[in-house]
Amino acid sequence: MIELVLAGPGRNALGTPVMERALQDLYAAKGEPLLVRGEGTCFSAGLNLKEIATLDADQMERFLALLDTLVVGLLEHAGPVVACINGHAIAGGCVIALACDLRVCTSAPATRVGLNEVALGLTFPPRILKLARARLAPSHATRVLLEAGLYAPQEALRLGLVHEVSDHVEQDARKLLEQLARNSREAYAATKRELNEPVLSLNPQEIAAFTERVLPRWTSAELKAKMLNALAKN
């Protein structure tokens, strides 16, 4: 069993250095059973808004491509991947958790899990939208994505954002990973590949949508002002 630990400032916010380190650790795992957790008492509070607010269009495209590469890497990892959601998993942090095979969440009532991108004024990149649709029941996906809520553990469980809620999250996440690892490696990898294929495949229209609709929204002056205002309140 190998650990991939999301570690960085801003409650493990997913900035470029954090994502690059996570990718290095992911590739170094070479298909071995992988436990993904956050450093300290938070999984990840989302993308690094301070960094995002400074990026021009080209830089933003590279930033989102890095996030996409990390999501794809988790989906393509041949061995089992379990997210140990040891605290907040918000927005981009929730995306990373959804890219794992199964998710165990702490029962700590203050913990919040959710995809609040719409509330921030962000449009989902095509692969992340496909990931949410693949992981959540249709009625739950509609609520989770459009309500843009941040849910307590039991509600996150009801909505399908997590598979288990535990008072001993790391212990139970490890047990689940060990259970998955007892399956045939070849059969596990093949089945996982088939399950994730719809998310891994992007058609030309989806790629064009990213360039034409998503990227301009992420780099708009209006959105940057909104992010800076949100940061000033924290």
Cα separation, 183 vs 214, in Å, equals 39
Q: What is the pTM of this model?
A: 0.96
Q: How many CA atoms lie within 13 A of 160 on its CB side?
A: 15
Contact criterion met (CB below 8 Å) for 74 and 232: no
Cα separation, 154 vs 78, in Å, equals 30
Cα separation, 157 vs 142, in Å, equals 16
10-residue averages of pLDDT along the chain (234 residues) = 96 98 98 98 95 93 97 98 98 98 98 95 94 97 97 98 98 98 98 98 90 91 80 70
pLDDT of residue 160: 98
pLDDT of residue 234: 64
The CB density around residue 189, as the number of other CB atoms within 10 Å, is 17
Contact criterion met (CB below 8 Å) for 23 and 67: no
- Burial annotation 77-114 (CB, 10 A radius, 16+ → b, else e): bbbbbbbbbbbbbbbbbbbbbbbbbbbbbbeeeebbbb
From the list 123, 121, 143, the residue with the least C-alpha distance to 133 is 143
Pick the CATH number of 2-233 from 2.30.30.830, 3.90.226.10, 3.40.50.300, 3.40.50.620: 3.90.226.10
